[in-house]
């Protein structure tokens, strides 16, 4: 299931992030590619662990910690430090699937990639092409969001970025390991949480049915979650 997380960053925050990363040194995007991806990838990237990437990445992680929709949809256990890429001049990323395990170089930190995240840092009118195209059983979903908005999708999905034919597409991308490993279970938890929040607005948090539903939510988390 794909989730759109609107306004992770405000327009002012996007502007601040761009001021930092646009002045940084960019390198060939294949510095973080696996063998399969390297054959299909043509873009530029901020060096992993660079000062600019760390500064803006920490800002993004702080924003996500305060975003209830992200927490509900992803149930994050571990989040990989955000990376940054730029596509221009017919650059693209061909169809691929993300690596199942993502280690952080020079550390013992590693995650199982349950969800892939793309946070757009360019407005859609700034470039042509550059859609994130994610395949599932219902077809191909083409995603091109306003700056500051983010999309989550299963890391098991085949996906690609179409060629950018005008302007530049700048984005942050990263992965996370969810507390709930199974996609179907994670979707049910999100739907249950959403229903509880809606009923709380209508009935008040002390309604007996809501107390029981909240208990079911947490008992399912105990059954399904890693910690």
pLDDT of res. 204: 74
What average pLDDT score do residues 139-164 get? 97
Could you list the beta-strand ranges (E) of the chain.
3-5, 27-28, 41-42, 44-45, 76-79, 83-88, 92-96, 101-103, 110-112, 115-120, 127-129, 132-136, 139-143, 150-154, 159-161, 164-178
pLDDT of res. 41: 87
> Percent of the chain beyond pLDDT 70?
96
Does the pLDDT of residue 63 top 90, yes or no? yes
Superfamily of domain 3-178: q2cbj1_9rhob like domain (2.60.120.620)
What average pLDDT score do residues 95-118 get? 96
Spatial separation of the C-alpha atoms in residues 133 and 144, rounded to whole Å: 9
Q: Hey, do 3-178 and 183-224 end up sharing a CATH topology, with the first three levels equal?
A: no
Check residues 120 and 105 and name the one with the higher pLDDT.
120
pLDDT of res. 29: 84
Domain ranges, ordered by start, for the chain: 3-178, 183-224
Does the pLDDT of residue 101 top 70, yes or no? yes
Does the pLDDT of residue 26 top 90, yes or no? yes
pLDDT band at residue 38 under the 50/70/90 scheme: low
What average pLDDT score do residues 55-78 get? 98
- 125 by Cβ neighbours in 10 Å (0-12 / 13-18 / 19+) ranks as exposed
pLDDT band at residue 34 under the 50/70/90 scheme: low
Cβ within 8 Å of residue 84, ≥6 positions away: 21, 45, 46, 52, 53, 56, 57, 121, 170, 171, 172, 173
pLDDT band at residue 32 under the 50/70/90 scheme: low
Pick the CATH number of 183-224 from 3.40.50, 1.10.1060, 4.10.860, 1.25.10: 4.10.860
**How far, CA to CA in Å, does 105 sit from each of 13, 48, 102?**
28, 9, 9
Spatial separation of the C-alpha atoms in residues 217 and 192, rounded to whole Å: 7
pLDDT of res. 184: 95
pLDDT of res. 40: 79
pLDDT digits (tens, 9 = 90+) for 161-189: 999 999 999 999 999 999 999 999 999 99
What average pLDDT score do residues 209-227 get? 95
């Amino acid at each position: 299931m794909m989730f759109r997380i609107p306004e992770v960053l405000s327009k002012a925050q996007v502007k601040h992030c761009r001021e930092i990363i646009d002045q940084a040194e960019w390198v060939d995007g294949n510095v973080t590619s696996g063998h399969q991806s390297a054959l299909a990838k043509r873009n530029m990237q901020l060096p992993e662990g660079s000062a600019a990437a760390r500064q803006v990445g920490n800002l993004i992680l702080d924003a996500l910690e305060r975003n209830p929709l992200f927490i509900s949809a992803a149930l994050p256990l571990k989040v990989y430090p955000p990376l940054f890429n730029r596509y221009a001049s017919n650059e693209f990323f061909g169809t691929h699937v993300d690596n199942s395990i993502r280690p952080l170089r020079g550390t013992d930190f590693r995650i199982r990639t349950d969800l892939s995240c793309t946070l757009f840092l360019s407005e859609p009118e700034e470039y042509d092409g550059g859609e994130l195209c994610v395949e599932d059983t219902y077809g191909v979903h083409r995603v091109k969001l306003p700056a500051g908005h983010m999309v989550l999708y299963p890391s098991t999905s085949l996906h690609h970025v179409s060629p950018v034919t005008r302007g530049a597409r700048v984005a942050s991308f990263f992965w996370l390991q969810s507390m709930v490993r199974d996609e179907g279970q994670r979707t049910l938890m999100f739907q249950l949480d959403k229903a509880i929040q809606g009923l709380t607005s209508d009935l008040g948090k002390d309604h007996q049915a809501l107390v029981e539903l909240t208990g079911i939510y947490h008992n399912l988390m105990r059954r399904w979650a890693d910690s």
